[in-house]
Amino acid sequence: MAQNLGARQLSKLIAYCRTRETRIMAGPVAADNAAMLKLLQDAGFDVRATSDAGQRQAFLNLRD
């Protein structure tokens, strides 16, 4: 249930950002937060490594 809630919230946030003509959503994610990384990847985010081994950076182009 919690995973469904997170996915629904993220979906609503993405939809809201699109209505506000946001171009890109981006943010840091702890590298060991597997659940959040999977949620973001499932939602279409590109998740990249950073120079900090404990962190990843997630990006979603809202213009696609």
State mean pLDDT over 11-25: 96
- pLDDT for 3 equals 56
pLDDT in tens, 37-54: 999 999 999 999 999 999
Question: Which domains are seen in the chain, by residue range?
Answer: 2-61 (3.40.630.30)
Q: How far is residue 55's CA from residue 62's CA, in Å, rounded to a whole number?
A: 23
Share of the chain above pLDDT 70, in %: 94
| Radius of gyration, CA atoms only, the chain | 12
State mean pLDDT over 58-62: 97
C-alpha torsion 4→5→8→11, nearest 10: -100
